[in-house]
Amino acid sequence: MTTGFPKNFMWGGAVAANQCEGAYLEGGKGINATDVLVGIIAEGTHPSIKWNEETKRYEPCYNPDKVYLSHDAVDFYHRYKEDLELMAGMGFNAFRTSISWARIFPNGDEVEPNEEGLKFYDDLFSEMRRLGMEPVITLSHYETPLHLLTEYGGWANEKMIDFWLRYVETVFTRYKDLVKCWLTFNEINNLFRIPFAAGAMLDINPSDVNEPISGLTIKQKYQGAHYVFVANAKTVELCHKIIPDAQIGCMLSLSHIVSYPYSCNPEDVFGAMQFQRNHYLWSDVMCRGEYPAYIHRIWEENNCKPIIKEGDLEVIKNNPCQFIAFSYYMSAVFKDGVGMAAGTGGAKGAKNPYLTMYSPEPWTWPVDPKGLRYLCNVLTDRYRLPLFIVENGIGLDDQANENGEYIDTFRMEYIKMHLSEIKEAIHDGCDIMGYLYWGPFDIVSAGTGEMKKRYGFVHIDRNNDGTGTLKRTKKKSYEYYKKVIASNGEDL
């Protein structure tokens, strides 16, 4: 019986290329979806790309000259050595980031990759290893080349499978000696939230503020989801072929699963289960290797059964993911047909009367550490696979005191509460690979496109209006997390 964190537990942090690198047009990089969307989410106005049923194409409706915070972000592209040194200073043995697809294939449909982009990640992953950190690399963190969306319609088009596999084979081959832990699509359930919310098929982070970003029919969404399932399985197959000693997992936004029924009313209980199934669908197919029984009624009632080609189900069956990576930030309640609404910074439906935890602005997401233990247990019961918490953290509007210090007490509280519940989950028999705190240094928020949701152990002087020196300053939580890691989670 394991009590406490295992000896080989992975301790570290997680970011995404589009939220920290900046240099959005440097090194031969093309434009990706998040270069023209994140800011628009912040503006809460029209989506950046709109599906036109007549022309059967996406029509860009973004201002190509508008500057978004993510264009320079926090300049990780040029400052990653300083930032990784700071992470190593806390004792990280793992660090997660993503490869920005448009650095490797600027338009996404080229045959030859961009060498400058490949070289950047060679240097980045080598530096991680030099500092004793295992690279945990996300293949797509909403960073689809924009050209693939406007020219082909993104994952609504079967051609995406081949473009995706060309990109995947290129990076697996290039980084096979540097990267042994891969995640396929970041929060794929969030991107394709179906059918309750019109998640974007454009492989970009949706927001209820911009619904419907994609304007696609539900049939196109389930067809696109099937293309992603085939692409995911072929990615697993390629990973085993090119990097036999690597592990590869799916990555899901699983705060959604912790959408409790608001009451013991059977309508709420059954409704919550159905809501959860829209998120379980992804891990059911990607980890069990087959469509679940409940999907047939959804396909029938929505007339959205995808075209499934000869061999599709076989490749899916033969190539399940080896672990489930996920993000957990908050919980929600399911009431009157409404559950968690990701991307809007909070749960719709009703507030949970039992969660009186302080949720400071701009965070607002309901803090529920026990929900993480619950989640780890239900996932273990359902899949009996290793679990990897690759996002957990809290974004606060950290301000320096009169001595220029950042005393981020609640962040330390938040981490302590969640790690305590992870420890209990391990004792419950859950096989948990690691804990990667989201945003170990301040980065651009995916949901708001701004800097005011600061997650970091390290403050970065960058403001919403684009001003700032980019100076890095340790917050009080830096030494706290260093102590936690040094004690392998014993000293919380």
Binding segment toward ligand BGP, per CB under 6 A, in 45-53, 59-67, 444-452, 474-482:
444-452
User: Per rule CB under 6 A, is residue 252 in the interface with ligand BGP?
Assistant: no
Least Å from the CB of residue 96 to ligand BGP: 10
Q: Is 209 in the site for ligand BGP (CB under 6 A)?
A: no
User: Among residues 101 and 152, whose Cβ is nearest to ligand BGP?
Assistant: 101
Task: Report the nearest approach of ligand BGP to the CB of residue 340 (Å).
Answer: 11
- Per DSSP, helices labelled H in 385-430 are 409-427
Burial state string for 375-398 with b = 16 or more CB within 10 A and e = fewer than 16: bbebbbeebebbbbbbbbbbbbeb
- 186 in contact with ligand BGP (CB under 6 A): yes
Give catalytic status of residue 391 as yes or no.
Answer: yes
* Distance of closest approach, residue 446 Cβ to ligand BGP, in angstroms: 3
Instruction: Give me the least distance between CB of 226 and ligand BGP, in Å please.
Output: 23
Q: Please count the other Cβ atoms lying within 10 Å of the Cβ belonging to residue 268.
A: 20
322 binds ligand BGP (CB under 6 A): no
Candidates 16, 94, 194, 321; binder of ligand BGP (CB under 6 A) is 16
What angle do helix axes 159-174 and 218-242 make, rounded to 10 degrees?
A: 30
Rule CB under 6 A: say whether 453 interacts with ligand BGP.
yes
Residues 75-114 interacting with ligand BGP (rule: CB under 6 A): none
What is the nearest approach in angstroms of ligand BGP to the Cβ of residue 487? 27
Task: Identify which of residues 93 and 364 has a Cβ nearer to ligand BGP in the complex.
Answer: 364
Applying CB under 6 A, does 454 fall inside the site for ligand BGP?
Answer: no
Burial class (CB in 10 A: 0-12, 13-18, 19+), 192: buried
As measured in angstroms, the least distance from the Cβ of 191 to ligand BGP is 10
Report the chain's terminal Cα–Cα distance, integer Å: 21
Q: Residue length, the chain?
A: 492
Instruction: Point out which span in 163-171, 175-183, 367-375, 442-450 binds ligand BGP (CB under 6 A).
Output: 442-450
* Residues 232, 234: Cα–Cα separation, whole Å: 6
Distances (CA, A) of 249 to 235, 241, 243, 258, 319: 10, 15, 14, 21, 11
Given 12, 91, 108, 447, the residue binding ligand BGP (CB under 6 A) = 447
Closest CA to 434 of 386, 374, 479: 386
Which residue among the candidates 391, 402, 413, 479 is catalytic per the annotation?
Answer: 391
The one-character DSSP state at 294 is: T
Residue 138 or 380 having the CB closest to ligand BGP: 138
How many other C-beta atoms lie within 10 A of the C-beta of residue 317? 13
- Minimum CB distance to ligand BGP smaller for 13 or for 91: 13
What tokens appear for 376 in the block? 């780890």
Three-state SS sequence of 334-395: EECCECCCCCCCCCCCCCCCCCCCCCCCCCCCCCCHHHHHHHHHHHHHHHCCCEEEEECCCC
Stretch that binds ligand BGP, among 28-36, 176-184, 186-194, 217-225 (CB under 6 A): 186-194
Shortest CB 230 distance to ligand BGP, Å: 23
446 binds ligand BGP (CB under 6 A): yes
Beta-bridge partners for 145:
32
Give the torsion sign (CA, 408, 17, 90, 392). positive
How far apart, in whole angstroms, are the C-alpha atoms of residue 200 and residue 61?
15
- In the stretch 355-394, what mask flags binding to ligand BGP with x, by CB under 6 A? ------------------------------------x---
Q: Which of 390, 362, 327, 364 is nearest to 450 (CA)?
A: 362
H-run or E-run covering 432: strand 432-438
Per CB under 6 A, the list member of 157, 170, 253, 283 interacting with ligand BGP is 253
* Of residues 189-208, those binding ligand BGP (CB under 6 A): 190
Where does residue 19 fall: left (phi above 0), alpha (psi -120 to 50 degrees), or beta otherwise?
alpha
Compute the least distance from the CB of residue 365 to ligand BGP, in Å: 8
Q: Is residue 187 part of the contact set for ligand BGP (CB under 6 A)?
A: yes
Catalytic residues: 391
Contact residues for ligand BGP, defined by CB under 6 A: 16, 19, 186-187, 190, 253, 327, 391, 395, 438, 445-448, 453
